[in-house]
Chains A and B, each alone.
Chain A
């Protein structure tokens, strides 16, 4: 940028000032537009949802249209989503946390650290429908001749071949797809939260003769408990709202199913099916389902925000 001050004619300066004001206004307008869109969409969804929600939504099972008391409720879908999240969490949370612990505590002197971190980030950007296809191929499709040929070679994969259901849509495949989405998120948030724990704690623990394992498990992780939990809650909020990976893994069901070895209902898929279906009563019920879904996600996100906020305030108070 030239240091010499050019002589700018007043007219040109006027133009520049006007242009600046116009753009300033545009920025404000654009922000307002974004907030307006958010407000409009949210209020519409809330309004429609509240119109059609009722107690029977939670207590009734789906009833085919045309029969008495149709369309019923979405009890099976609610229970189904909870079970799917629990299954996904059982696999996804430990694996994700272990990976996060590795990245934070063990990766400095290993070649494995940087690729793992990078691939974690990349995996969070994989379209979730592609994850669904992976789940289908591994856990739903009758094992194709190609893959089963390759699976004969190790004991582990031979066992897997016999163990897992294939041939039908099933809830395990859906949970696996959700876990696939969950693991990189949990890993990265765990790593970041553990890195925030002051190094002095680790030094003090090691200097007292604790093993690295004890230091991690009894000092570092407990020191970060609050933030680790928020990371897990964020991942749960993410998978609670996922539809695409369940479309051809768990498929969906109108029955109350508790056995994940069968086609398995979930709130998101149920809402999608009803919304894109031809029956008006079912569409209305879809709005109610949407309300519950948004409410769940909103509450989880809000709790996370408040926890982070109060933890930061505690840290400032202590410092």
Chain B
């Protein structure tokens, strides 16, 4: 015990606590180490989650990857069941008295096509609306209304996707079927080429191509694109609004000083933040591609490529939703998992690139959610 403190009268609250030992006694695992360890566990957990996702999917899809190779990506036939093998003449092949079965064939091109086209449709509908709303919120909206409108737009995002699916299934699809698509058909089919593109279907039976009129059910690519568009409106609007809000005033004031109209300066804002806005569009694209429930209910569940937008189709996510629970065989599940892997990689790449573009422009508040 040091003599240093002995002469000082202690008016302090406690006096005795001053004479603390300053030397570290090894007490084993300190609370600090435990806390740091726990926190690190949480962080590592997140890394493991991504790793597990990719690794487990890859391992499960491996049989399909090795069996089909590149053909998986370009094949158009998706047949999970075995069929009797038919020779060129159209007869069933027998061998040793038994029918020869051709193994299941899985080609993912129809669903890749479905995902890409429906997402592009969605972007096509949503981006003008979103950019317009973003410009409105940033430049035209009365200050009092901004919060309320933003909240409503973000509420659109919080609505669960089956809600949109049900609405699409019971309201939008019948509406399209009864009113919109027949009107479009009668209005546009006189234009040469449009009829052959949009309103006919070709089916191949026993080697022959039969062209017939496309039945309009309302549950098709067009409806899917519309529903997806509604779902990605909030995210593109929110990010675009933040991006436009962060355009430096100097940019706008510069253009206004030269006597520009409102549109000219707004266009300048859009042009200035074009890479971040492109990122916003990509995030919307990623969201549209990954969306499942809404699209499953309105896409029509037809796993074929059809050039018409009014034909039923299938996306990667709707394929998984429809078939995975009842997948019959190991190879079927492997093929489905390979589709999931493609979907995952597609959305990861879009997300990563999009975030780079948006974060690079300091407008990353909405993108973080």
Instruction: Name A's B-contacting residues (CB within 8 A).
Output: 1, 5, 16-17, 19-24, 26-31, 33-35, 37-38, 41-42, 44-45, 95-103, 105-107, 112-113, 115-116, 119-134, 136-138, 144, 146-147, 180, 183-184, 187-188, 192, 211-214, 216-217, 237, 240-244, 247-248, 251, 268, 271-272, 275-276, 283, 286-287, 290, 293-294, 297-298, 301, 305
Contacts and interface: CB of A to CB of B under 8 A. Distances in A.
Given A41-B167, A133-B57, A121 B129 contact: no
A126 B137 contact: no
Interface of B: 30-32, 34-36, 38-47, 49-50, 52-53, 56-57, 59-60, 62, 128-133, 135-137, 140-141, 149, 151-156, 158-167, 169-171, 230, 233, 237, 254-255, 258-259, 261-264, 266, 283, 286-287, 289-293, 297, 317, 320-321, 324-325, 336-337, 340, 343-344, 347-348, 350-352, 355, 367-369
Given A5-B259, A44-B167, A183-B46, 19 more contacts: A28-B140, A34-B130, A34-B153, A34-B237, A38-B153, A41-B230, A122-B351, A125-B283, A125-B286, A125-B351, A129-B317, A130-B343, A133-B57, A133-B324, A180-B49, A187-B42, A188-B368, A272-B297, A297-B158
A19 B42 contact: no
A184 B46 contact: yes
Contact of B155 (A38, A96, A105, A120): A38
With most chain A CB atoms within 10 A of its CB, the pick from B161, B163, B259 is B163
A130 B340 contact: yes
Contacts of A213: 31-32, 34-36
Contacts of A107: 43
With most chain B CB atoms within 10 A of its CB, the pick from A27, A28, A96, A305 is A27
Contact of A29 (B59, B60, B132): B132
B214 to A, nearest CB: 23
A130 B155 contact: no
Given A20-B263, A125-B287, A133-B337, A27 B297 contact: no
B293 A243 contact: yes
B43 A103 contact: yes
13 contacts: A1-B255, A16-B264, A19-B261, A20-B264, A27-B133, A31-B133, A45-B167, A112-B40, A113-B43, A121-B367, A125-B348, A293-B160, A293-B162
Given A26-B132, A35-B149, A44-B171, A130 B344 contact: yes
Given A102-B39, A129-B292, A211 B31 contact: yes
B237 to A, nearest CB: 7
B312 to A, nearest CB: 15
Contacts of B291: 127
Contacts of A211: 30-32
Contacts of A17: 261
Contacts of A98: 38-39, 41-43, 45
A297 B53 CA distance: 28
A25 B102 CA distance: 61
A202 B255 CA distance: 46
Interface residue SS majority, chain B: helix
Q: In the A-B complex, list the 6 residue pairs whose CB atoms are closest, starting with the nearest.
A: A241-B160, A98-B42, A127-B290, A30-B132, A99-B42, A20-B261
B137 to A, nearest CB: 7
Nearest to A48: B170
A213 B34 CA distance: 8
B162 A102 contact: no
Given A28-B140, A138-B56, A268 B162 contact: yes
B226 to A, nearest CB: 10
Contacts of B162: 241, 243, 268, 271-272, 275, 290, 293
A30 B57 contact: no
Contact of B56 (A100, A134, A305): A134
Contact of A34 (B62, B133, B321): B133
Contact of B324 (A45, A100, A247, A301): A247
A298 to B, nearest CB: 7
Nearest to A296: B160
With most chain B CB atoms within 10 A of its CB, the pick from A112, A130, A144, A275 is A130
A311 B88 CA distance: 75
A102 B261 contact: no
B32 A31 contact: no
Given A41-B164, A127-B291, A275-B297, A116 B261 contact: no
Nearest to A23: B263
B258 A5 contact: yes
Contacts of B31: 211, 213-214
A220 B303 CA distance: 54
Nearest to B319: A129
A114 B351 CA distance: 16
Given A180-B49, A213-B35, A126 B348 contact: yes
Nearest to A101: B39
B348 A122 contact: yes
Contacts of A5: 258-259
A312 B255 CA distance: 35
A1 B258 contact: yes
Contacts of B46: 99, 116, 119-120, 123, 183-184, 187
Nearest to B45: A95
A130 B160 contact: no
A129 B321 contact: yes
Contact of A290 (B163, B258, B290): B163
A112 B154 CA distance: 32
Contacts of A115: 47
Contact of B254 (A1, A119, A120): A1
A128 B289 CA distance: 11
Given A44-B171, A126-B53, A237-B158, A31 B47 contact: no
